[in-house]
Amino acid sequence: MTTTLHLHGKRGVELLHDPLLNKGTAFGESERDLLGLRGLLPPRIATQEQQLERVLENYRRKENDLEKYIYLISLQERNEALFYRLVMEHLSEMMPIIYTPTVGLACQKYGHIFRRPRGLYISKNDQGRVKGILQNWPQADVRIIVITDGERILGLGDLGANGMGIPVGKLSLYTACAGIDPSQCLPIMLDVGTNNSALLADPLYLGLPEPRLRGPEYDALVAEFVSAAQQVFPKACIQFEDFGNANAFRLLHHYRDRACTFNDDIQGTAGVTLAGLISSERLTGLPLTQQKFLFLGAGEAGIGIGDLIVEALKLSGVPEKKAREQCWFVDSKGLVVKSRSDLVEHKRRFAHDHKPVASLLEAVEALKPTALIGVSGMPQTFTEDVVKAMARLNRRPVIFALSNPTSKAECTAVQCYTWTEGRGIFASGSPFSPVNYLGVTHQPGQGNNSYIFPGVGLGVIASEARRVTDEMFYVAARQLATMVTEEDLMVGRIYPDLKRIREVSAKIAVQVAEVAFQRNLTNMLRPANLEAHVKEAMFDPHYPSYV
Ligand code: NAD
């Protein structure tokens, strides 16, 4: 039983206005007497289930997705426990609202739908006072920080300070999918300006109406933030999210051995894609070591996936050079080969000896890949010719069209199953409905990062790990793949049902924590029962009793 001590002395209206403590009409008779609430609430006491019924009815009455988003955010601002119970019990329905694709729309209109601030804002004018800003945050035990500078929001480009919707949404998923306590989550917007001319001209835009900060001053601001975060929240993991391509790779490279940090666009995407490839082995009969991977797109997602495949192959005994040679990339200029002089650093490590090849179709014919992975943001680039070539070369071709949102997918699920005569193993970034092809129903898999990052975060928290390593994403991918059932595979689905996400996240967390203990990445002693320790740390959205 919880005591009033947990309320930090809060009572009356102050208690009703604290979303982490508020229970609204569910405060009981004695709580109302003891906590100065009598008369501040309607007399009839509700159960949380009755409240759920009301909020669900209100939610479903909203006429469009943006209104649903606004409704959910307002609920979160009033009553976090109720918000999380609602979202957790209707995750498939609400995930596309609190995260992609609706969150993208909300970010585009952020300055126009803004009600009240959430999270912290650090701007380029705050150089020298970042620590003080972090100290203004009301919670002391922050464990996960999600920070963005808004330069590459989903597939929508530079949205400046409007990008705040992303850290907020991502952290909601940490709680909904892995039970990370909302009081331990901190969303941050690093406002370094924007180069989006429409936003610069919008009088309701809430960020600094200035061009983006670049160069040493930008790096100094990020460095000040990381150092301040390590001082103010020494147990926090910092997740960099939706930074532009060049900064994302640089910052990950610079901080991964200096702080407890990771980049979900690079490493989380890699984890969920690797899991899909591992599950596919059970359908193709081909181990990863015997496969060849061809990527369309060599950005954060593509290179991240390539690096993790290399890590996985190395752990299976393949030498690094050979492992890299199993991964090939086509970017906007054609096949990534050694003779090209235009390659940035992160692409060079996958540039192999080969004559230049201009098109994806030619690359497929020349390289004969077993898997084709689309992370280009370019719709309809897996053409009929390309997919049919994959189907000719492979008994079960692996075709992942991961670009988001749905309109950007390299091909649709229907196209994949039709052009491969039902033999394709398909996964996408955004959800596709089941497809009936010649009387057989195929369930496309969704390579949703939410299968990976919440569990990784929970594992890092539960083990108090000082670093987040590629090995952690590898074990997370392996664990996720083992949770795919024979029933899932029978309908062609290479990821577990989203309904099992908390169970999935808990299991991933145990594996991730195990890596932290084995690799001496923590000062914590390994609990005898790690699984129980992880589960104990998970947030329960049912109301506690305060008396
Ligand atoms: P990015 O900007 O870092 O990289 C895009 C890459 O695509 C670049 O290498 C670019 O050269 C290449 N490209 C552009 N036009 C091309 C063309 N016509 N042909 C071939 N290559 C081309 O972006 P990113 O973060 O890597 O994301 C890429 C896509 O992957 C986005 O649509 C994003 O939504 C999607 N994504 C999906 C998931 C997921 O499914 N879980 C996760 C992350 C990203």
CATH of the domain at 134: 3.40.50.10380
| 170 labelled catalytic | yes
Q: How far is the CA of 546 from the centre of ligand 1 (A)?
A: 49
Domain check: are 86 and 104 in the same one?
Answer: no
For a ligand 1 pocket test, name from 247, 265, 375 the mutation site with the most ligand atoms within 8 angstroms of its C-beta: 375
Q: Give me the count of residues in the chain.
A: 547
pLDDT tens digits for 342-379? 999 999 999 999 999 999 999 999 999 999 999 999 99
**Protein residue with least CA distance to atom 16, ligand 1:** 332
Last residue of a domain, one of 231, 259, 287: 259
- 260 CA to centre of ligand 1 in angstroms: 26
523 found inside a domain = no
Q: Is residue 480 over pLDDT 60?
A: yes
- With 90 as the cut, is the pLDDT of residue 278 above it? yes
Q: pLDDT-derived band of residue 235, with 50, 70 and 90 as boundaries?
A: very high
Distance from residue 333's CA to the centre of ligand 1 (Å): 14
Shared domain check, 84 and 104: no
Q: Which residue has the tokens 């010649």?
A: 438
How high is the pLDDT of residue 2? Answer: 44
**How many angstroms does the Cα of residue 78 sit away from the middle of ligand 1?**
37
**What's the confidence (pLDDT) of residue 241?**
97
Distance CA 261, CA 82 (A): 30
Catalytic: which of 84, 99, 205, 474? Answer: 99
- Is pLDDT of 420 > 80? yes
Instruction: Give dist(CA 297, CA 347) in Å, integer.
Output: 10
Please indicate, yes or no, whether residues 320 and 242 belong to a single structural domain of this protein: no
Residue 36 lies in a domain: yes
Res 155: pLDDT: 79
Q: What is the pLDDT of residue 477?
A: 98
pLDDT of 1 > 90? The answer is: no
Taking the centre of ligand 1 as the mean of its atom positions, its distance from the CA of residue 299, in whole angstroms, is 6
Distance 332 CA to ligand 1 centre (A): 10
Q: What is the DSSP string of 359-426?
A: SHHHHHHHH--SEEEE-SS-TT-S-HHHHHHHHHH-SS-EEEE--SSGGG-SS-HHHHHHHTTT--EE
Tokens at residue 67, please? Answer: 């209104």
Does one domain contain both 55 and 201? Answer: no
- Model confidence over 12-53: pLDDT tens digits? 999 999 999 999 999 999 999 999 999 999 999 999 999 999
Do 44 and 159 belong together in one domain?
Answer: no
Nearest CA to ligand 1 atom 2: 299
At residue 150, does pLDDT exceed 80? yes
Do residues 276 and 377 share a domain? Answer: yes
**Which residue has the CA at smallest separation from atom 1 of ligand 1?**
299
> What is the arithmetic mean of pLDDT over 106-115?
92
Ligand 1 pocket by C-beta < 6 Å: which residues?
A: 155, 245, 265, 269, 272, 296-302, 330-332, 375-378, 381, 402-404, 408, 429, 447-449
Closest by CA to 525, choosing from 463, 473, 458, is: 463
Give the list of residues 6+ apart from residue 137 with CB closer than 8 angstroms, or none: 120, 186, 232
Marked catalytic residue, from 170, 347, 408, 507? 170
pLDDT class for 199, splitting at 50, 70, 90?
very high
- Do residues 82 and 215 share a domain? no
> How confident is the model at residue 3, as a pLDDT?
46
The 144-148 sheet, strands edge to edge: 120-123, 185-191, 144-148, 237-240, 261-263
Both 411 and 328 in a single domain? Answer: yes
For 198, the domain range is 97-259
Residue with CA nearest ligand 1 atom 21? 331
The verdict on residue 278 lying in a domain is yes
Number of domains in the chain: 3
Comparing CA positions, the residue from 92, 120, 168, 156 lying closest to residue 496 is 92
Closest C-alpha to ligand 1, atom 25: 300
Same domain, 353 and 249: no
Produce one character per residue of 3-18: b if its CB has 16 or more CB atoms within 10 Å, e if not: eeeeeeebeeeebbeb
Q: How far is CA 399 from CA 110, 296, 360, 371, 417, in A?
A: 35, 11, 13, 6, 10
Of 404, 446, 452, the residue with max ligand 1 atoms within 8 A of its CB, to mutate for a pocket test, comes to 404
**Nearest residue CA, atom 40 of ligand 1?**
429
Q: Is residue 404 part of a domain?
A: yes
543 is catalytic: no
**Mean pLDDT of the 103-117 span:** 91
> What is the rounded CA–CA span in Å between residue 397 and residue 393?
8
